[in-house]
Amino acid sequence: MDVRLIGYARCSTREQSPDRQIIALRKFGVSEENIVVEMMSGKNFQRPAYQELVNQLKPGDAVVIDSLDRLGRDRDAVVDEWRRITKEQGADIVVLDMLPLLDTRQKDRDITASFVADLVLQILSYVSEKERLLNRERQSAGIAAAHQRGVKFGRKPIKKPVNFEATRKLWECGEISASEAARRLGVSRPTFMVWTGKN
Bridge partners (DSSP) listed for residue 37: 9
Query: Is 17 known to be catalytic?
Result: no
What is the identity of the amino acid at 197? Answer: G
Pick the catalytic residue from 12, 114, 177, 188: 12
DSSP state of 96: G
φ, ψ at 103 (rounded to 5°) = -140, 100
* Cα separation, 197 vs 199, whole angstroms: 6
Rounded to 5°, angle at Cα 102 from 130 and 95: 80
DSSP E strand stretches across 99-176: none
Q: Long-range CB contacts (< 8 A, 24+ apart) of 53-56? A: 53/6, 53/8, 54/81, 54/84, 54/85, 54/89
What is the identity of the amino acid at 33? Answer: E
Q: Which residues are catalytic?
A: 12
